[in-house]
Structure 1
Amino acid sequence: MSRIILGIESSCDETGFGLVRLDDDGTVELLADEVASSVEQHARFGGVVPEVASRAHLEALVPTADRAFESAGLKLSDVDAIAVTAGPGLAGALLVGVSAAKAYAAALDVPLYGVNHLAGHIAVDTLQHGPLPKPCLALLVSGGHSQLLKVDDIATSITELGSTVDDAAGEAYDKVARVLGLPYPGGPPIDKAAKQGNGCAIAFPRGMTGPRDAKYDFSFSGLKTAVARWVEEVERRGEEIPVNDVAASFQEAVADVLTAKAVRAARELEIGTLVISGGVAANSRLSELARERCAEAGIELRVPRPRLCTDNGAMIAALGAHVVAAGVSQSALDISANPALPVDVISL
């Protein structure tokens, strides 16, 4: 007998509701994925304002839920279990989603599962490409995270191999976009500009790629600073900034480091599948270079479609379905959000 899983996401500036069907054979089918974003409210500040995000979640919660159920052709009473992002993320934003999930679970008398946002970014790939091979390697690249993860079981076992020691890739994109006078968030406009530029025009540094550096960790703070200093020097000389070339050269440096370290890890650990997920996974150069290098190394590459890469309720519903299928114990109704939830804690 199939079960309907509702997923609720509110870790940052997107309010997401997703609905999936979990069949007896473990197949997970996406039924609805509705998102309300408050990114335009944050754009004038150049970054997410936690209080603004929390208020936006409160306003968007019920309308987004209504759209999800209407899209799926389901009623609230059809839900068999609820999964909600319990962390990591912004404390106030997380609490909005967790509180709503508790209310739904109590009212419907169905199990509640507080799950990990980062694991959700990996689980969402199963909605497009089917079950994950065991083990697989995940490169998670988003606004606040750049991590290499070994996934033995998406519902029960994720091990961090490396992570960001300073700025994550997404943060660097936002800061470089500001330097270049491009809008927030920085990922899409830099990607667009880079397509008109030369990625070899400027030799920007590749952070943490030396022989003594941690081989699976990432650092993009130095790259961000190098771009800013290069632009300052051009401005000092009174010359026009070649925005497209700067964007392309910066993006090439980011994609080069991310893909080189991911392919290296896959080879050294003898893992045959790499999943790239998170908001930055939608970047065209990252996916292009990853395809080239994975093909050369004989590694299967899986990248969810752009809509599934960004924060959404579908990814939380998908992870919830895998947790339910694995027989993981449900969460207590008094769980609290954990803004610093580590990636190896998949459910609370």
Structure 2
Amino acid sequence: MSYNESPYIASAKNVIGIEARAIEALATRLDDRFVAACDLLLRCTGKVVVCGMGKSGHVGNKIAATLASTGTPSFFMHPGEANHGDLGMLSKNDVLLAISNSGETYELLNLLPVVKRLNVPVIAMTNKPSSTLGQHADVFLDISVEQEACSLGLAPTSSTTATLVLGDALAIALLDKKGFTSDDFALSHPGGSLGRKLLLKVSDIMLSGDALPLISQTAKVSEALLEISRKGLGMTGILDTEGKLAGVFTDGDLRRILDARIDIHTTNVADVMTRGGKTTQADELAVEALNLMEAHKISALMVVDENNTPTGAFNMHMLLKAGVL
């Protein structure tokens, strides 16, 4: 039996098809209520407090995390704990995003009197507008699905998927409206690889001072090789008489002159160096320097100031070690 005939594959395809149709149906129900929810969240001067029990709570936790990471301050409040003191986390400037498939979750409904007393607006995500939660909400968002993907029709599957997708839709609609940028995203993700790529500057990784490979343009090729070996970057910068960067000499340049049988002890490095060469500056993002290196197929880069005076150098290995690659 091939894998295409496996009952596991058939079951998986059925689940994916059911959930895909649930999401497609969700898109057709986006209306002025979704706009009202976005406007309410956009005007919120406090935090978006997401609340849900059971599977709705697990999805709510993710929605809160997505909102927070995309520029809408948010956190998850467990309704069971809220009934025993955690409701103090809610303030009058907040918005409550309450998730309940049935709209009758006891732990959530038990919070509504206090929520209303605080004049905290409620956005309800439920499949029943006539439910208690739906009737007491300021805005109702329909997360109903035609069927759950569970063959028993019991386990929350399509409904939790629809809820999660609608939460993502809210978060990204707000992100777009606020003009949230990649730099903003990086500030809330400093520990992740994306944050490092968006925040790390060339100055954070480059070698400088005595570790910087540099020689005079009057030096011989043999001296350049010694400098490359000492500094370990696979290249050295070549300075003119004013201390400016005249060019670079790399491992690649060495291979070319050896093929030409040039005497490294008598040849001036200025005669065989790569004149000018690609450079970057210390305040550039490291990822931009990486793009430059990849575009020109070079493995090391000199860093210069506005006067073309070398201030640093780095190579691909250092970018890899810093998590930029």
Q: Give the TM-score taking structure 2 as reference length.
A: 0.24
TM, length-normalised to structure 1: 0.23
Work out which of the two has the higher radius of gyration on C-alpha atoms and give 1 or 2.
2
Which structure would you say has the larger RCO, counting Cα contacts within 8 Å and 6 or more residues apart? 1
